[in-house]
Amino acid sequence: MPYLTQLAKVARRTGYPVTEVSGWKSRGHGPQPEVQGVVCHHTAGPTGGGDYPSLGVVRSGRPGLDGPLSQFGLGRSGRIYVIAAGRCWHNAPSTSAYHDNSSSIGIEAENNGSQPWPDDQLDAYKKLCAELCREFGLSASRVKGHKEVNRQKPDPHGINMNDFRADVAALLRGEPAAPALSWTEKLLTDLPLLRPKDDNYDVKTARGLLLQRGYLPEAVYATGGLKSWLDRTKYDDELAGLIRGYQRIKKLDDDAIVGPLTWRALLRVS
Ligand SMILES: [Zn+2]
């Protein structure tokens, strides 16, 4: 699974205002490998400071923990901040395999850890969780509080997660049934044709998928340049060679053009 560039669209389906934080579509500790769960947090930020004073920390991290810390922020007003589309450091170690950093999406809601939750913020929280469940084909049971999947954590404070999940489940029942296409199938319909010399964001998606398939040039590891390699948007000759090799392994035409069949192979959709 590559960068989750549909997250802003998903957030807008809640009806709450959405802020797309500059650079979010390519922010992350690599791509998000899969989405099996959602983890709800509170920021433990300042008591005052406006709608979402923890934005800088959630985006850029703090000493000892590099940002981004979660894909979403949630302001006191119910405004949703889309911060990252890749993997985030929001839950480690996790007691649940569905809720570790590689398997789940994190939401950091502004709250100092003791103050009451404004009604709009709580309502937006549930609606965002419901829309994420709908998008990724999850049941409400996959929505967890950080305190439920990490023994060290108290957040989100004051929220009974069983009641919270019951409200998420009700939201899911109240809406039209999820589309028949799986998320990956929908993604395939959005991915463009990539050709050598292209220069765009989806080149990074292809690089991330090659990494997930374990198909990278030795030199990238040897020079320690993995991050800069993954961040390159240019479809250069080296990448074309790798794609050709991958196409041959998958018994596809080795034309270096990443079209539907090659994307399906990279995404492991049969
Ligand atoms: Zn937390």
Entry pTM:
0.66
Per residue in 131-168, pLDDT tens? 999 999 999 999 999 999 999 999 999 999 999 999 99
Q: How close is the Cα of 52 to the center of ligand 1, in Å?
A: 16
| Contact call for residues 76 and 52 (beta carbons, < 8 A) | yes
Does the structure show a pLDDT above 80 at 19?
yes
Place of tokens 């959405």: 18
CA angle 104, 260, 22 (to 5 degrees): 45
Task: Name the burial class of residue 218, with classes exposed (0-12), middle (13-18) and buried (19+) by CB atoms within 10 angstroms of its CB.
Answer: exposed
Per-residue pLDDT at 13: 95
Per-residue pLDDT at 174: 86
Domains and CATH numbers, the chain: 7-173 (3.40.80.10), 183-267 (1.10.101.10)
Q: How close is the Cα of 93 to the center of ligand 1, in Å?
A: 11
Q: How close is the Cα of 159 to the center of ligand 1, in Å?
A: 13
Q: How close is the Cα of 86 to the center of ligand 1, in Å?
A: 18
Looking at every residue in the chain, the average pLDDT score rounds to: 91
Q: How close is the Cα of 166 to the center of ligand 1, in Å?
A: 21
Q: How close is the Cα of 149 to the center of ligand 1, in Å?
A: 10
Q: How close is the Cα of 100 to the center of ligand 1, in Å?
A: 12
Q: How close is the Cα of 25 to the center of ligand 1, in Å?
A: 22
Per-residue pLDDT at 190: 78
Per residue in 178-237, pLDDT tens? 445 666 776 777 788 999 999 998 999 899 888 888 787 776 766 667 888 888 999 999
Q: How close is the Cα of 108 to the center of ligand 1, in Å?
A: 7
Distances in whole angstroms, Cα of residue 204 to Cα of each of 50, 94, 231: 35, 28, 6
